[in-house]
Amino acid sequence: MRITILMLCSIFLTSTAFADIASLKGQARFVSDAPAEKINGTASGSAQLTMKEGKAETIRGEILFDVASMKTGNKMRDEHLRSSMWLDLAHFPAISFKIEAVTKSDDKMYKVTGDFTLHGVTKPLTARAKIKQVTAKTPGKGLQKLIKVETEFNIALADYKIEGKKGVIGNKVGKEIKIKAELRGMVK
């Protein structure tokens, strides 16, 4: 029994000992384009990612966007957005994307696959992303490995059981929301 526990600990330490950890911060921009109104908004985001040997294909982790930080330029609309009828901030304070796989699709782009959770509903999602890594000199810290992730994808509100006020989705709020996110940070 003791040998089994030691072997499991050894395997765990070996698999994580060579992983870099990246802490990222950034913003998502979202657009709802409906016949009666076009809504542009933002939300603050963060991510904790791991990556082995600097290879983008090994990135795993979770990206979170704070529902409370969402802004559309109209305070009343922002409150409606956070209400139980829409995103329900009280029960679902974050929108998340848990990265399960990253594959290179061409010279500058990757396909990132994982589980996207919104409004308590989790669905698989694949999005194209630009992942850029550089080593740069930073004031007071010397050379640092930096990473930047940019992605763009659409989601359908109905897929995440967001119904809103009757007659609003499809008229004032788009059935699909376009999301563009950019996060950047240091790799440790």
Express each pLDDT in 8-41 by its tens digit: 444 444 444 458 999 999 999 999 999 999 999 9
Express each pLDDT in 85-139 by its tens digit: 999 999 999 999 999 999 999 878 999 999 999 999 999 999 999 999 998 887 8
Q: Is residue 54 in a domain?
A: yes
Give me the CATH number covering residue 97.
Answer: 2.40.128.110
> Which pLDDT does position 18 carry in this prediction?
59
Q: Is residue 4 in a domain?
A: no
Q: Is residue 2 in a domain?
A: no
Using a 10 angstrom Cβ sphere, with 0-12 exposed, 13-18 middle and 19 or more buried, the burial of residue 4 is exposed
Q: Is residue 152 in a domain?
A: yes
**Separation of alpha carbons 57 and 110, rounded Å:** 8
pTM: 0.86
Q: Is residue 97 in a domain?
A: yes
Q: Is residue 83 in a domain?
A: yes
Domain that holds residue 167: 19-187
Q: How many domains does the chain have?
A: 1
Nearest partner of 60 among 120, 30, 102, judged by Cα: 102
**Separation of alpha carbons 94 and 109, rounded Å:** 27
Q: Is residue 10 in a domain?
A: no
Nearest partner of 121 among 154, 78, 146, 92, judged by Cα: 92
Q: Is residue 69 in a domain?
A: yes
Express each pLDDT in 140-187 by its tens digit: 878 889 999 999 999 999 999 999 999 999 999 999 999 999 999 999
Beta-bridge partners for 45 = 26, 65
